[in-house]
Amino acid sequence: MKILITAPSLDENRNVSGISTVARQIVENGTFRYAHFAAGREDREKTSARWILKQGALPFRFFRAVKNGNFDIVHINTAFNALSIVRDFALVRAARLAKTPVLLHVHGGRYLAENFANKKLESLAKKMLRASDSVIVLSELEKDIIEKRWKNIKVEVLENAVAPGIAPLREKTPGEKTIIYLGRLTESKGLREITKACRALKNENFNFRFDAYGAGDLQDFFVGEMKEILGDKFRFGGIASGAEKRRALARADIFVLPSRYGEGLPVAMLEAMATGCAVVVSEMASIGAVVRDGFNGFTIEPGDVSQLIGKLRILLSGAIDLREIGKNARKTVEEKFDLRDYIVRLENIYKEIIDKKSL
């Protein structure tokens, strides 16, 4: 079977997009033949006139790629954000014109849980879903949201996953702790909340290091603020990939992702849990179905700086056994989010689509 899969650049050295990570794992570990079609903004890519022209031509290039490539299925990765909905509605339409079945893979997004900004955008999202042969979401919660919002749409759950044995579980050592952020450096990720929390904790004389990895339009602001707050206790490593990313997670004790909106099921969070980090994450979309507060990680309300400070204060003070939290986190990933199982389930969904088309 031959699959055309959409995502931003799959090059880990250029892009830290969660969708790119998922697509790369599928391409590298799947048993079918995959081809990648680049769709989506790269980190720090500007909205220039050239970029706008590129987006306008995208559906036409996509149609030609589908038509000429003789693909059995088109796998379109999207998020319920305004630009993604507009772009991927056009790609779904192009695939239908090329008479190729469509699997639509929804990776969270602002308007998955929130009300749409306008009726026109909601209408495009509904048409995109209805035109797809199958729709994948990241949790039962997201499935329930979509099925309650729109009737008669086939939705299946396929949680994100990570490769087994991503890193050995570390024995936590007493003394200075390391907090890590790994992901896009954008407004939606709660970077301003991180800077406020670190400033407060520093003023309370907590001793900790902070490592950050990623890229995005808030990079200069975030790096500048963190250096001013923590000095040489802050380390920025740019985009980390492969063994470098694994080493960075292995050094860390606490992973933070206090997102404001738009998360699905972050792969970086699952990777951190797999290494035994205690994660502190915003409870939204599918995250709450994975992280049980105080058992395998900690959750906060989006945008709540006081909650973020409170959870980090508990972890840095030694009031909670980080080793126990880390072991529970790793066990959660091993039992429920194994990439090998993920690939089998995904490729069975492909087969079901083809079987139904042949009836």
Question: What is the structure's pLDDT at 59?
Answer: 92
The arrangement of secondary structure in 177-336, i.e. its CATH architecture, is 3-Layer(aba) Sandwich (3.40)
> How many CA atoms does the CB half-sphere of 235 hold within 13 Å?
13
How many whole angstroms separate alpha carbon 44 and alpha carbon 61? 23
* Beta bridge mates, 4: 35, 74
Give the 3-state secondary structure of residue 156: strand
Mean pLDDT of the region 275-301: 94
How many whole angstroms separate alpha carbon 336 and alpha carbon 138? 13
CB atoms near residue 334 (< 10 Å): 14
163 burial (CB, 10 Å; 0-12 / 13-18 / 19+) is middle
> Is 160's pLDDT higher than 60?
yes
**R_g (Cα) of the chain, nearest Å:** 20
Percent of the chain with pLDDT over 70: 94
> Is 50's pLDDT higher than 70?
no
Asked if 280 contacts 206 with a C-beta cutoff of 8 angstroms, the reply is no
Question: What is the structure's pLDDT at 46?
Answer: 62
Q: pLDDT grade, residue 52 (50/70/90)? A: low
Determine the number of helices (DSSP H) and then strands (DSSP E) in the chain: 13, 12
Question: What is the structure's pLDDT at 269?
Answer: 95
Mean pLDDT of the region 253-280: 94
Asked if 290 contacts 143 with a C-beta cutoff of 8 angstroms, the reply is no
Q: Which amino acid is at 172?
A: K
**Right CATH for 2-161+338-358 from 3.20.20.80, 3.50.50.60, 3.30.1330.40, 3.40.50.2000:** 3.40.50.2000
- Rounded to two decimals, what is the model's pTM? 0.90
Question: What is the structure's pLDDT at 266?
Answer: 93
Residue 229 Cα to chain centre, angstroms: 28
Which residues, 6 or more positions from 154, have their beta carbon under 8 angstroms from its beta carbon? 133, 134, 135
What is the location of CATH 3.40.50.2000 in the chain? 2-161+338-358, 177-336
Asked if 225 contacts 196 with a C-beta cutoff of 8 angstroms, the reply is no
Q: Which amino acid is at 13?
A: N
Question: What is the structure's pLDDT at 163?
Answer: 87
Laid out side by side, the sheet with 102-106 consists of 33-38, 2-7, 73-78, 102-106, 134-137, 155-157
Indicate the pairing of strand 73-78 with strand 298-300: unpaired
- ∠113-188-286 over CA atoms, to 5°? 40
Question: What is the structure's pLDDT at 57?
Answer: 85
Got the DSSP string for 29-60?
H-SSEEEEEE-SPPTT----HHHHHHHHHHHH
